[in-house]
Amino acid sequence: MHKFVVEGGKELIGEIRISGSKNEVLPILAATLMTDERSIIRNVPNLSDVRLMLEILEELGCQTTFDRGTVTVTPYNLDRTQASYELVSQMRASFCVLGPLLSFRKKAKVSLPGGCVIGVRPVDLHLRGIKALGVNYDLDHGYVVADGSQMQGTRIFLGGNSGSTVTGTANIMMAAVLANGTTYIEQAAPEPEVEGLARMLNSMGAQIFGAGSHRIEIRGVDRLRGADYTVQPDRMETATYAVAAAITHGDLTLTNSKYENLIAFWEKLKETGTQVEQIASDKIRVRGGEINPTDIVTFAYPGFPTDAQAPMASLLSLANGISIVTDTIYPDRFMLIAELNRMGADIRKQNNSAIINGTKHLSGAQVMGSDLRATAALVLAGLAAKGETEVHRVYHVDRGYEQMELKLAKVGARIERAEYNPRRRKSDREAA
């Protein structure tokens, strides 16, 4: 296993290039299943989640290449319509192959994804959507076994108790593209990643209107061409490195970035006293100043993104006052608290909120990552802590941040990746 060893206290100065978006590229790759022509996807980040999605596409009868940020996908065996538990259970977003398989290959057997530490993460809204489209399906031994041969466009309400669903909207939008007739998705997820997927599908010949809003219209078409699509910058990577500048009182320019799809995040970051300036259409300069407290409540886009609440919690643990961070999307997404408190933070969980009483400094410690964003947030805390921090289980970071330690070292961070063998308790060793 790998860990990051971080020596805190260095101000980060310089430029960080933002990679392509993980949460956009995963459904984009699934969409290449909707044609028998070759697709080219550019600005693809080299992440373990991306490599896993390519494995799933190969299991589904596609030949793939991935070279210097460009992926090609060439479907050659359309009879392969089963996505296995071994692969799907490792990454929830792989459930997004369901819609594409149903729309073009007319049948699918896809493992239900598991939950994860941030929540139960059901797929009931995805299933509500395909059922409304006329798909007959069974839940059989942990798989969705579905027949898409009779799909008919319809009006679908896709809202759940926690609001809209991002990958659910992606799945149903893809399922509807090749259905007979027109589909309307009400309370669709308006995230930029959904808008990007629609843009790519329309470049392949789809007829999608209103993506990026809460109502999407999809007029069914007969077939799609191969795609040639460039992935947009990763919003969450941008937010994470913006906090890196703030928490180290540094001065970072984030290049190949996009300001306008993180408005709620920038507003909150500025409230802490951080200086944020868009210096070009794809460049954002972030300078750390004092760290003032602020209150955050996460909402679906364009509200404050749940994926940015952990990095912000690390920053607010050093604020000169009390902050409250509430997650309305994932009420239990606070595994980070216990680890930050081991570094000297003073945070307590109350229902779906973290009450953060800012401290003057954090102390380096051995800490353990629990999920993608919490592990990134621990690296940020280590950059600011006094002394050395070891962040264990950095495979979480490798899922969604391309070469994080190299990007941070390039702007002055003292961080390196090291191997370690997770020690087992004596009793476990004896039992083994």
Among 165, 187, 309, 389, binds ligand EPZ (CB under 6 A): 165
392 binds ligand EPZ (CB under 6 A): no
Region binding ligand EPZ by CB under 6 A among candidate stretches 50-58, 79-87, 164-172, 279-287? 164-172
293 binds ligand EPZ (CB under 6 A): no
Considering only CA atoms, which of 214, 212, 147 is closest in space to residue 187? 214
Give 93 or 101: the residue with its C-beta nearer to ligand EPZ: 93
Using CB under 6 A, which residues numbered 332 to 361 contact ligand EPZ? none
412 binds ligand EPZ (CB under 6 A): no
Strand 347-350 relative to strand 322-327, pairing: unpaired
Structure tokens at 130: 């395909």
Structure tokens at 59: 């299991």
Considering only CA atoms, which of 237, 250, 293 is closest in space to residue 9? 250
Strand 296-298 relative to strand 322-327, pairing: parallel
294 binds ligand EPZ (CB under 6 A): no
Region binding ligand EPZ by CB under 6 A among candidate stretches 61-69, 119-127, 382-390, 420-428? 119-127
Using CB under 6 A, which residues numbered 49 to 88 contact ligand EPZ? none
Active-site residue identified among 116, 145, 221, 324: 116
d(CA 30, CA 42): 15
d(CA 49, CA 407): 19
Q: How far is CA 320 from the centre of its chain?
A: 30
210 binds ligand EPZ (CB under 6 A): no
CA dihedral 115, 118, 123, 125 (to 10 degrees): 170
119 binds ligand EPZ (CB under 6 A): yes
Tracing tokens 């490195």 back to the chain, one arrives at 241
Among 1, 77, 86, 124, binds ligand EPZ (CB under 6 A): 124
CB 213 within 8 A of CB 188: yes
Region binding ligand EPZ by CB under 6 A among candidate stretches 157-165, 246-254, 350-358, 382-390? 157-165
Catalytic, 62? Answer no
Using CB under 6 A, which residues numbered 312 to 331 contact ligand EPZ? 329-330
Using CB under 6 A, which residues numbered 211 to 240 contact ligand EPZ? 236
CB 100 within 8 A of CB 33: yes
Residue 322: helix, strand or coil by DSSP? Answer: strand
Taking residues 16 to 35 in sequence order and writing x for each that binds ligand EPZ by CB under 6 A, - otherwise, the string is -------x--x---------
Give 373 or 393: the residue with its C-beta nearer to ligand EPZ: 373
d(CA 51, CA 77): 20
Q: Which one-letter amino acid corresponds to residue 274?
A: T
Which residues of this protein are in contact with ligand EPZ, per CB under 6 A?
23, 26, 92-93, 119, 121-126, 160, 162, 165-168, 189, 193, 236, 306-307, 329-330, 372-373, 400
Catalytic residues: 116
